[in-house]
A and B are shown apart, each in its own frame.
Chain A
Amino acid sequence: MGKEELQSKLTAIFQKTFNDESLELSDELTANDVENWDSLSHMILIAEVENSFSIKFKLKDLNKMRNVGDMLNIIESKL
């Protein structure tokens, strides 16, 4: 899966989870920039990502996700 494809798939997950169809992802995007992205929806997001990409995160991976860019890298490393 190429980086482009990965990002568009992730964008769809974000849009669905945060209920915002205009949401665009960038590497620097953090939880502070997105309405409703709090510790509750974050875990739903994580579960969605794991299901769609059929991967499993570790707790340590979670601590390393500071922004969307980090998340993309971690997903990529698991595929």
Chain B
Amino acid sequence: MVFTSLNFLIFLPVVMLLFYITPVKYRWLTLLISSYFFYINIKPIYALLSGGITVSTYVFTRLIDKTPDDNKKRILMILNVIIILLPLLFFKYFAVINNELILLLDDWHLRWPLPEMRYILPIGISYYTFMCIGYTIDVYNEEIEAEKNIGIVALFVSFFPLILSGPIERAKNMLPQFRDFQRINYDDLVKGMQLMLWGFFMKLVVADRIAMYVDVVYGNIESYSGNSLLLAAILYPFQVYADLGGYSLIAIGVSKVLGIRVIDNFKRPFFATTMAEFWRRWHISLITWLTDYLYTPLSFSLRKWGLWGIILALELTFLISGIWHMASMTMVVWGLLQGTFLSIEAVTSKRRTKFEGKYSLSNKKWYMLLSMMFTFILFAISQVVGRVDTVGESWMVFRKIFSEWGSFYLDMTTLFYAFIGIVIIILKDFIDEFFPERINFFTNKRVWVRYSSYLTVAFVIILFGVLEGNSFIYFHF
């Protein structure tokens, strides 16, 4: 079941009703059953996996809590991290590596003993694996106590709004909320529905529309000219933002109507003026997770090498982030590229601050706009590598953009709708960034403004949304 399916629009009200008529003490059970129903609906066998990860995490966190000896604790922590990583490694990477080996050895006329493997990656596994690793490490660090009710741990792993595509939540935030549910709050209910409405707009009207152009061009790089590829490269970051950003809003909204607070995943990313700031606004739940559990330990252990140690830690973190997205060479390059951008920024940071101070640039509007555009271009370049299938293809894209302009592929209807959609999203972010509380639609004091905004967005989704087919880009990550 995906959020944009008709089934979900029936499923959610039913779950809400059941949830709110259940006595507070047993609400975790209602949510747990609903979550498993939701996940099983996609593929029953997946539930075994999330169940297995739950059991392992529960047992090990309890053991860590009970063990006084720090070394033993450490071993238990590492053991659980390895155990819950195994399915992810197997499903995501083993088949890829194995198949690559078969091809490689075939070239030398050697037989590799293992047969070719094709498995479908269990949806959401990348997300809940990370959530469980975070939980285990937090218990090890004594930041939280291990949960004693295995049902609540199971709910943490399988909570249906988050299981498919995040945000990647923390046990510290979620477990207390699952232990003690709040009374129904109608303001939250309204807020949650507003978030969902906007999320559906971003996903169905904007992301899926842009995809119609981008998919065609990227689907056949060889036959499209440099100018078409350039347009696709500019559109793609907007597509991913509208897609994952919209999806996250739906997830956050669904949680909110159930009274659960979930962290934000995007904060108007295209208004960032540096790459470092961009990554504090883009896929926030993933980046903070990587910072806490990967970058900090790495850079801490490499700190004696000073700036170089930090650069190395950065590269490694983004390399792993890249491979987490997808097991491919392009994502390796993507990760290294992000690390490099950030390293260059870190190295030149002092000089830039001085330069900006000298000409008092940092509060000049044109300078800010220029910095935002430059940041966008860097991200768009990295996303070209993220979008294509092979590294060679990304070279072809860049080569064509710079040297092979030809007949422009203009699917006017699609581009028209896509353009209007992007303008609306950016305009909304612009208002939220620079004039918060000044211009309101969904939160306007006047009822008629609120209602007409809801209805306008709803009818735009119904009339202009791409409603048939198409699952979320991030699902198989």
Contacts and interface: CB of A to CB of B under 8 A. Distances in A.
Are chains A and B native binding partners rather than an unrelated pairing? yes
A19 B353 contact: yes
Interface string A39-61: 11101101100100000010110
Interface string A57-78: 1011011000000000000000
A44 B307 CA distance: 7
Contacts of B350: 19
B47 to A, nearest CB: 34
A36 interface: yes
Given A40-B346, A60-B141, A63-B141, A46 B295 contact: no
Contacts of A46: 300, 303
Interface in B413-452: none
Majority secondary structure, B binding face: helix
Given A46-B300, A46-B303, A59-B297, A40 B353 contact: no
B312 to A, nearest CB: 11
Interface string A10-42: 000000000100000000000000001011110
Contacts of A63: 141, 143
Nearest to B297: A59
A59 B294 CA distance: 12
Given A47-B303, A47-B306, A40 B314 contact: yes
Interface residues of A, number: 16
A44 B306 contact: yes
A53 B352 CA distance: 30
B296 A39 contact: yes
The CB with the most chain A CB atoms within 10 A, among B295, B297, B303, B350, is that of B303
B330 interface: no
B375 interface: no
A44 B141 contact: no
Contacts of A38: 276, 280
B177 interface: no
B470 interface: no
A41 B297 CA distance: 15
Given A39-B291, A39-B295, A44-B306, A62 B353 contact: no
A33 to B, nearest CB: 15
Q: How large, as a class, is the contact surface on chain B?
A: 20 to 34
Interface string B140-163: 010100000000000000000000
A65 to B, nearest CB: 11
Contact of A59 (B296, B306, B349, B354): B296
A62 B314 contact: no
A41 B313 CA distance: 13
A36 B456 CA distance: 42
Contact of B310 (A40, A57, A59, A60): A40
B304 interface: yes
B228 interface: no
A59 B300 contact: yes
Nearest to A63: B141
A47 B143 contact: no
Nearest to B313: A43
B84 to A, nearest CB: 21
Interface string B307-327: 101100110000000000000
B310 A43 contact: yes
Nearest to B277: A38
Contacts of B306: 44, 47
B349 A43 contact: no
A12 to B, nearest CB: 17
Nearest to B311: A40
Contacts of B210: none
A32 B215 CA distance: 40
A64 to B, nearest CB: 9
Contacts of B291: 39
B249 interface: no
Interface string B7-48: 000000000000000000000000000000000000000000
28 contacts: A38-B276, A39-B291, A39-B296, A40-B276, A40-B314, A40-B346, A41-B346, A41-B349, A43-B296, A43-B299, A43-B309, A43-B310, A43-B313, A44-B303, A44-B306, A44-B307, A46-B303, A47-B304, A47-B306, A50-B303, A57-B300, A59-B297, A59-B300, A60-B141, A62-B296, A62-B300, A63-B141, A63-B143
Given A19-B350, A39-B296, 8 more contacts: A19-B353, A40-B310, A40-B314, A41-B346, A41-B349, A46-B300, A59-B300, A63-B143
Top 7 nearest A-B pairs (CB, nearest first) are A47-B303, A43-B299, A40-B346, A39-B291, A43-B310, A19-B350, A43-B303
